[in-house]
Amino acid sequence: MVHDVAVVGSGFSAIALTVNLLRLLPPSTSIAVIGDDPSFGRGTAYRTEFHLHRLNVPAARMSVFADQPDDFVEWLRSKGKGGSADNFASRGDYGLYLRDTLAGLLRQRERRANVDFIRAKATTCIHRNRDGLQFELDSGQELQARNVVLCLGLGSAEMPIKPRNLDTSLQDHVVQNPWRLGWLSKVRPSDEICIFGSGLTMIDQVLSLRARGHRGRIHVLSRRGLVPHSHLSHHATAVEPILPEGTRQLSTLLGAFRAQVRAGAPWRALMDGLRPRTQALWKELNQEQRSRFLRHALAWWNVHRHRISPQVFSQFQHLLENGTVAVHAGFIGGIEQKEDRFQVAYRPRGTQAQAHMNVDWIVNCTGMERAGISHSPLLQEMQRQSMIAMDELGLGISVDPFSRVVGPQGQIQPGLHAVGALTAGQFWEITAVPDIRNQAKQVAELVALNLENKAASLSDQR
């Protein structure tokens, strides 16, 4: 069997695309969804069972459908979970919303495309001129599809430095992937912990530790020691940034933004006003300015742009104020075993001195790696066959403004698209729900049009 569409992936990008395809494609078409995550569509972020893990975006902006902005708010109301548009719902509830939305579309059997959910990983992909692409799966199966959409997300970033020559008893106290939550149950209440990274993942893990009864000291170490800011507790009207005309020099843009803040514009409102323009602005920057942004401004962008709910911020701020959590800005020098603990050596930012901390656990919360090719055997194989190419900044793979995959010679790859973080080189702002849902809708419409044109062409040949 040759499927009309293959969706490769099992996170939010995959479910956003799938639900849009189900709304668009006729019953005569077929969809294959390839992924090895049993909680399809919920991914790491939305399958958490901790109620304290909240969305970082108000409910009003979290509908999976770009053309039904109130869908998530209405779902919350229907479940008796509070329907305020400004509410920061739990991530677990959002995962249930995605599950229910997909299930509702799948129940419409007579009006939707046929869907096969294939629990496997695609490991190899080769061209089939007439029938699109053929995948080999780690289950031993093969699958062909006329259109393919890559919805592969991000892998966990590697630790900045790895300890060596550890006793077996200590090896389990190095947590490379904190989302494998089994480690939390092994932490003793008084254990001291060092967390590498000070972003959103760190916040989640600190609150998870507290919920599990941990009361020991937590050290947070990152290069700049910046932690996410909070959203306001009430909705504020976005303020449109006044950007200088005739230049897209990063320093000039930042200067204009700061001038508006000094003139009285709330910085959060300005960031919210910038959001609808971010992708267009990114496209206007040349490669030099994009590289400068990634080198010098990214850490500040992350803490101002990717804010946390007021409730979560309040809990974390209390831990900072009472000394439970200490944030250190510095550079890791090494990790050694000292008896039955770790000794972490680091250089505090702005000094040449060495400092040390002795801890019982080391937890990697440096976040997610850039959506490059190295974390995926499938993408590596597709690159080897010149089917895809890394974008110039190494943020993901090359795509055009319509999310069509571009090969190493600049050629559009027919029937091959990408959605989500893989396309950051083209769009930059493409990891949050409001951006991915727009892209998923656009790609679903392109796939539907491709299939319609192919059917019309075959009809004409008869």
Got the DSSP string for 192-245?
Answer: -EEEE--SHHHHHHHHHHHHTT--S-EEEEESS---PPBPPSS--------PPT
Residue with tokens 């040390």: 356
Pair (318, 390) in one structural domain: no
- CA dist list (Å): 216 to 190, 205, 335, 341: 4, 14, 20, 14
Residues 117 and 92 in one domain: yes
Same structural domain, 38 and 118: yes
Flag whether 105 is in a domain. Answer: yes
Q: Say yes or no to pLDDT of 368 above 70.
A: no
360 shares its domain with 437 = no
Residue 390 lies in a domain: yes
292/393 same-domain check: no
Q: Which of 364, 383, 412 finishes a domain? A: 364
Mean pLDDT of 414-430: 94
Check: CB of residue 291 under 8 Å from CB of residue 393: yes
Q: How many domains does the chain have?
A: 3
Whether 151 is covered by a domain: the verdict is yes
One domain, residues 424 and 332: no
What average pLDDT does the chain have?
90
Q: CA-CA distance, 171 to 173, in Å (whole number)?
A: 5
How far apart are the C-alpha atoms of 37 and 388, rounded to whole Å? 24
Residues in the chain, overall count: 462
Does 18 lie in the same domain as 91? yes
Same domain, 269 and 150: no
- Same domain? For 385 and 329 the reply is no
Domain that holds residue 47: 2-155+369-461
Cβ proximity of 404 and 413 under 8 Å: yes
Q: What is the mean pLDDT of residues 75-100?
A: 90
Q: State residue 369's pLDDT score.
A: 62
- State pLDDT tens for residues 131-174: 789 999 999 999 999 999 999 977 667 788 878 777 877 888 99
> What is the structure's pLDDT at 458?
64
- Residue for token pair 């080189």: 425
Tokens of 447: 């796939």
Is position 160 within any domain? no
Structure confidence at residue 3 as a pLDDT band (50, 70, 90): very high
Structure-derived torsion over alpha carbons of residues 233, 235, 236, 239, reported in degrees to the nearest 10? 120
- Do 50 and 88 share a structural domain? yes
Give the CA count within 13 Å in the CB-facing half-sphere of 349: 10
* pLDDT digits 0-9 by tens, 257-291: 999 999 999 999 999 999 999 999 999 999 999 99
**Position 162 in a domain:** no
pTM exceeding 0.85: yes
Shared domain check, 283 and 344: no
Same domain, 329 and 206: yes
Q: What is the CATH number of the domain that holds 103?
A: 3.50.50.60
Q: Evaluate whether residue 239 is within a structural domain.
A: no
